[in-house]
Amino acid sequence: MVVSVNSVSTYEETTQSIARDLIQATRQKGNIFKQLKEQMQFDDKLMNWTMSNPGLRVQLFRFIDALPALRSNSEIARHLQQYLTTEEVELPDALKGILNFTEPNSPPAQIASATITKAVETLAYKYISGETIKEVIKAVEKMRKEKMCFSIDLLGEAVITEVEAESYLQNYLDLITQLSNQAQKWGNIPEIDQADGENLSKVQVSVKLTAFYSQFDPVDPEGAKLKVYDRIRTLLRHAKEHNTSIHFDIEQYTYKDVVINLLRELLMEEEFKTRTDIGVTLQGYLRDSEKDLNDWITWAKKRGNPITIRLVKGAYWDQETIKSRQNHWQQPVFNDKAETDINYEKLTRLLLENHDYLNSAIASHNVRTQANAIAIAETLKIPKRKFECQILYGMGETLARAIVKRGHRVRVYAPYGQLLPGMAYLIRRLLENTANSSFLRQNAEEKPIDELVAPPTIPPNPPFKGGSNGFQGAPDTDYGRESNLTKARQGLTIVHNQLGKTYLPLINGKYVETEEYIDSVNPSNPAEVVGKIGLISLSQADEAMESAKQAFKTWSKTPAKQRADILRKAGDIMEAKRHELTAWMCYEVGKIIKEGDPEVSEAIDFCRYYADEMERLDRGYNYDVAGENDRYFYQPRGIALIVSPWNFPFAISTGMTVAALVAGNCALLKPAATSTVIGAKIAEILTEAGIPDGVFQYIPGKGSVVGDYLVKHPDIHLIAFTGSREVGCKIYADASIVQPKQKHLKRVIAEMGGKNAIIIDESADLDQAVAGVVQSAFGFSGQKCSACSRAIVLSTVYDTFVERLTEAVKSINVGDAKNPSTKVGPVIDATAQKRILEYIEQGKQEGKLAIQVATPENGYFVPPTVIIDIPENATIAQEEIFGPVLAVIKADNFDRALEIANGTDYALTGGLYSRTPDHIDRAYKEFEVGNVYINRGITGAIVARQPFGGFKLSGVGSKAGGPDYLLQFLEPRVVTENIQRQGFAPIEGADN
């Protein structure tokens, strides 16, 4: 529709007038804090305290997050003290009194626990409409008496198993049935049940599309469609039968595009095309929300029947900001709240001016925001059916009553469900209510009305809230964007069209023919040859050694900046070929796209980080004193043999190789036989980047022949190895023997695997813990040296954890690695398959089989397997299996859990899921692993942020991607010069 300029110009004047009226209405009974001053309850005092003490706010909300998992008053008391008696928390006197107890089992501690628990429950029930449908019905009937309608949202949408997804659907079907049956008893309220002569649904429920399928993943929109569509159709049909409207919420940004696309397609189906009782959320804090709204308008015009757009500001700002920073993505949300408010008003106007095509639901507790929408709706005389205002249950009630009084429909978004799954929702509400920028807080504190009703403006030079000092890693691909999915598919096509080519060794800058060749095959389909590889002979190994010795004479003297720039160029080439390189890993080692892409990022980071590090080290150090110059600097060691693994065929191979090269060494890369094509791709990239002939050489060959020969070769100075403990220990032993004519001791850097454990204690968030263990144990079929092979679970939560873990594993999709729905692909070859299956059979004798997932018949597949009730000294609890096998061990207490976790020969990675500060602190100090991960998965270390490596029999050497890694590839030297001449020397600052 066309709106006149004069009408538009009246929006602001009318907005401010309406806003003033609404604010006056919300303040008629006085400031809420003044009202409650005499009879203020403890939960209100908690909220007041958090507003004035940021440290208390953080710790208190962390405690509230953990509270539902705590099983006794003693545990609650213990956690209270651990959270609230830290140095960063300045406690009010009243709270100090409550926490003034010595033993968690003492009567004062029990009283404190009961007091806090009751206060938090009271808080929760302010924002949650009930724990049962009966309570919800009572709440909504109260809303209707105040002439407000409702939308009910079922808490607990964190779905990680198919059982939970099916339960989510069934719970909504039951909710719709019971609410609609009750609605038949309700009298008609014209203000909310009718509009423009049309009867409206008395019942509305809000659902989250992602909760209808446990494996919902943006990388697999077609797979999501197959599962979700059937369940959504069932829901929509049931809703129609019961005269209920359905609203689809939008959650995290990563799901937005795929959810929108799925809904647009579904709602164009003939059965649903005429439905107007359906709505979708639009989040105003997203930078691309205006584009999304314009797309909805275009879609609605084509559909011919409107749906409702619920315009919200957004509830996941912190989460989206953190995730984008961690992944080095462009931040999807606006940085400043004023930017969101400006965008929201722009969206409001766009939406309302297109009311012929879309209905609008303006969801906000900001009086200015609602007044702006009302001003536009009244100016344009928008029909009642086309416009409503919305608030959240327990928030903004006085504003809602004022809007109702003005004659507009108000809907209350009312969550219901148990306290535990509702905790994340509660925390979001508490964060919103206690934020300095919260309109509700500012209005309650009676901030001047002129300031509250003024148009939002962006402050000059808003503080930058993103980024960090130091190294910035390459961003992983955001598969939530359709354009990136297209690139991933193109990469698979490019690689498929190149399958079967021959790859030759690169010696002294030339590709050389060989007498022996092997086929590298696709482990998902062993009949498919990925590439034919030429294997070098011993005489060719000697040629490679000789050319490296000659090249070293020049390369070792090449300026560090020049060497570093070659690495940076290599990193740029990798970035340009990212999707193709990911596809090569998918085909040659069976790594799914979402596992392969971060590996490309890691390889790029190795190139760029080690380039920076070498330039830093090249500057050396000066330790001068009067009359003497002391220089500490580094020189390269010589010739490096790189023996790289197949499980991280691109990142680890690249990292070890470029570390040697940038330090001025010459490098011979001997990749694992099963990942030789990827090794050839590294050779192509380094050659294109400008590595001189002989400095780097690609020498695929048999480990038992060429590998052993070169390890013992007297001209090898350094061996960088990643692989099995057996091979690593043999290399370490062989390299220690000084060969004839050898004038140095060889340096060995060896990463040899782990038997990694994740501990789950009674305070853990089990949603996080189950998902983290599943990803850590079964990502890349458990073929990561960092993979979780043991879950050590405290007895108090053991049965609950095992039950959810079993169902989560049962829900995993196993199949061809290039299928986007696949979460677990094949193992590397037939030998590995046979060995892992033997371990599984042994595990069945040592414990109890909990779950074993079906696998395709073709390919080297091993069923994801969970074996529970495992003794800590059992074979599968001690030996590295390197496959999708998880042993679950019960521990009576945290001390025993740590003892079990530390009771192996390995010390690589480990994890803890806990919300107990003392347990987290002890994991820092006592968990004997190189990398400890708290409340997250234990795989996927990031260069510079999480340098990677372990000790004990997990390996020897400094951490890859860390500040001391390159030192292993260098020899330190010191030169001291006496600069005195006949008793005089330059003295800084001396008078002439």
CA–CA gap between residue 755 and residue 876 (Å, rounded): 9
CA–CA gap between residue 709 and residue 867 (Å, rounded): 41
Run of H or E residues at 785: none
Tokens representing 672?
Answer: 């694992």
Task: Find how far residue 855's CA is from the centre of its chain.
Answer: 27
852 strand-pairing partners: 865
CA–CA gap between residue 574 and residue 568 (Å, rounded): 10
- Measured CA distances, 437 to 313, 369, 870 (Å): 13, 14, 52
Residue type (1 letter), 323: K
Strands of the sheet with 931-934, listed across from one edge: 848-852, 865-868, 885-891, 788-794, 756-760, 909-913, 931-934
Strands of the sheet with 718-722, listed across from one edge: 510-511, 506-507, 696-698, 666-670, 639-643, 718-722, 747-751, 955-956
- Comparing CA positions, the residue from 578, 580, 583, 586 lying closest to residue 602 is 578
- Comparing CA positions, the residue from 770, 781, 766 lying closest to residue 815 is 781
Residue type (1 letter), 634: Y
Which residue among the candidates 164, 751, 762, 880 is catalytic per the annotation? Answer: 751
CA–CA gap between residue 325 and residue 318 (Å, rounded): 11
Terminal alpha carbon distance of the chain: 85
Angle at 174 between CA 168 and CA 178, to 5 degrees: 145
917-926 vs 73-84: helix crossing angle, rounded to 10? 70
User: Token pair 């025993």 is at which residue?
Assistant: 896
Neighbouring residues of 518: CB distance < 8 A, sequence distance ≥ 6: 532, 533, 535, 673, 676
CA–CA gap between residue 606 and residue 612 (Å, rounded): 10
Residue 159: CB atoms within 10 A of its CB come to 23
- H-assigned helices in 422-509: 423-434, 439-444, 449-453, 482-496
CA–CA gap between residue 369 and residue 456 (Å, rounded): 10
- H-assigned helices in 849-916: 875-878, 894-901
CA–CA gap between residue 857 and residue 839 (Å, rounded): 20
Residue 483: CB atoms within 10 A of its CB come to 8
Task: Find how far residue 615's CA is from the centre of its chain.
Answer: 32
Would you call 751 a catalytic residue per the annotation? Answer: yes
593-618 vs 578-589: helix crossing angle, rounded to 10? 120
Ranges of beta strands (E only) in 304-421 are 308-312, 359-363, 387-392, 410-416
| Residue count (the chain) | 992
635 strand-pairing partners: 971
502 strand-pairing partners: 532
Neighbouring residues of 148: CB distance < 8 A, sequence distance ≥ 6: 192, 400, 404, 410, 411, 412
Tokens representing 426?
Answer: 């509660």
Would you call 729 a catalytic residue per the annotation? Answer: no
Tokens representing 411?
Answer: 């809907």
Neighbouring residues of 128: CB distance < 8 A, sequence distance ≥ 6: 155, 393, 394, 415, 416, 417, 419, 422, 425, 426
Which residue among the candidates 389, 586, 666, 785 is catalytic per the annotation? Answer: 785
Residue pair 439/392 in contact (Cβ under 8 Å)? The answer is: no
- Measured CA distances, 209 to 161, 585, 646 (Å): 15, 32, 38
- If DSSP codes are grouped into helix, strand and coil, which group holds residue 370? helix
Enzyme catalytic residues: 751, 785
